[in-house]
Structure 1
Amino acid sequence: MATAKTKQKILQTFLELLAEHPYEDVSLPLIAETAKVKLSDMRSAYSSKLKLVAAFLEQVDTAVLDERDEDMGDQPARDRLFDILMTRIDALAEHRDAVRALQEAAAKDPALALDLNALHVRSQKWMLIAAGIDLSGVKATVVAQGLSIAFGRVVDVWLDEEDEGMPRTMARLDKELDKGSDFMKRLKNVEGLAKGVRSFLRKASGGRKRWKDRQRETDPDTEFDGEAPAGA
């Protein structure tokens, strides 16, 4: 069983290799050889490169959760989310070239893109929690998916920005959050419509049942199944 120290060594080696080589060229044997660990330890620690990516993103999630500003609690949700996502950019900064390699690999490999998307959605659910945005069920997944796509666009800008103040990155994040706010409003409207439809169907179903009950009280021999009687 690989120790926590060995796992961290392997992960760090993976990120360093990824900063210098395309994702597809960074094999598990290469990582093990470079990290100077046995293949059995490599297998015990991370059974695939995707597991290594998942560990990296989890590490970033943890850094953001540790660094979140508790004083932002009384700010609007949009401002809290902006702060959290910029904190995430800061957490990614140390491994910028590795992030670029992952982005480039996903653009060429649809299967990898789907796998990475699932990991990013999981991370964005934690970012929403960190921002104090309480969602659950399908709604949480839908919003996290949208946020994952939006943040990917922000990362694309960040990767090409040379200004340390990141004005273009922040401007893009502002734009994406504005679009996200519009989406949330539409989602609430859809939710309201769906609730109205469900309420109508419940009432209609209840009214139909009451009508059938009255029919039976009036004529116990009547069977109503929603179809016209034979010969009608």
Structure 2
Amino acid sequence: MATAKTKQKILQTFLDLLADHPYEDVSLPLIAETAKVKLSDMRSAYSSKLKLVAAFLEKIDTAVLDERDEDMGDQPPRDRLFDILMTRIDALAGHKEAVRALHRAAAGDPALALDLNSLEVRSQKWMLIAAGIDVSGVKATIVAQGLAIAFGRVVGVWLDEEDEGMPRTMARLDRELDKGSDFMKRLKGVEGIAKGVRSFLKKASRGGKRWKDRRGEHDADAGYEDEAPAGA
């Protein structure tokens, strides 16, 4: 069983290798050899490269949640989310080349892109929670998916930006959040329609039941009338 220290060492080795090699060239045996751990420990700690990526994103999630600015609580949701996502960029900064390798790999491998998207959606759900934006159920997945796509575009700009002040990255995040705000308004409109449809169907169902009950009573009365002549 790999210890927490061994797992941390393997993860850091993976990120270091990604900074210098394409994702597809970083194999589990290479990671184990570079980290100087046995393959059995490698297997116990991380059974696949995707598990390593998941651990990396969880590490970033934790860093963002720990750095969350409690004083932003009275700010509008959009401003809180902007702050959280820029904090996420800051957390990624120490692993910029590893992130670049992951983005390049995903661009050339649709299956990997889908796997990474699933992990990113999970992370973005936590970013929404950190920003104090209350969404749940199917809506949470829809919003997190949209946010994952938007954040991917922002990261694409960030990877090519050399200015430490990140003006282009922040401008792109502003634009993406503006689009997201419009999407949320449309989503609320769709929700309103859906609630209206559900209410109508519920009422129709109750009305149908009453109609069936009345029809049953009518049929019962008709039955008695049909039987009367026979008993005479």
TM-score, normalization: structure 2?
0.94
CA distance in 1, matches of 2:199, 2:126: 33
1:87-131 residue CA offsets vs partner (Å, 9 max, x unmatched): 000000000000000000000001101110110000000000000
How far the C-alpha of 1:215 sits from its partner, in A, is 2.8
| 8 Å Cα contact 1:216-1:222 kept in structure 2 | no
Return the offset for 1:213.
1.9
d(CA) in 1 for partners of 2:33 and 2:210? Answer: 75
Conserved in 2, the CA contact under 8 Å of 1:215 and 1:222?
A: no
Task: Structure 1 unaligned segments of length 5 or more: list them.
Answer: 224-232
Alignment of 1:151-166 (within 5 A): 151-166=151-166
Give 3-state SS (helix, strand or coil) of 2:29's partner: helix
- Which of 1 and 2 has greater Rg? 2
How far did residue 151 of structure 1 move? 0.1
After superposing the two structures, state which structure 1 stretch, 149-158 or 34-43, moved more: 34-43
2: CA distance, partners of 1:59 / 1:185: 32
Aligned twin of 2:113: 113
TM-score, structure 1 normalization: 0.94
Moved beyond 6 Å, runs of 4+:
none
Match of 1:190 in 2: 190
SS in 2 for 1:220: helix
Shift of 1:220: 1.6
Return the offset for 1:85: 0.2
Residue type of the partner of 1:123?
S
Moved more, 214-223 or 16-25: 214-223
The aligned counterpart of 2:57 is 57
Residue 17 of structure 2 corresponds to which residue in structure 1? 17
Aligned to 2:149: 149
1:1-232 to 2 correspondences below 5 Å = 1-220=1-220
Higher helix share: 2
**Number of matched pairs:** 223
Deviations 1:43-87 (A, max 9, x none): 111111001000000000000000010000010100000000000
The aligned amino acid for 1:102 is: L
- Distance in 1 of aligned mates of 2:222 and 2:11: 74
Q: Which residue is equivalent to 2:228?
A: none
- Give the 3-state SS of the residue equivalent to 2:220 in structure 1: coil
Q: Tell me, what secondary structure is at the counterpart of 2:95?
A: helix
Which residues of structure 2 form unaligned runs of 5+? 224-232
Whole-Å separation in 1 of the counterparts to 2:165 and 2:155:
15
The change in CA–CA distance for 1:169 and 1:222 in structure 2 (over 3 A counts) is: farther
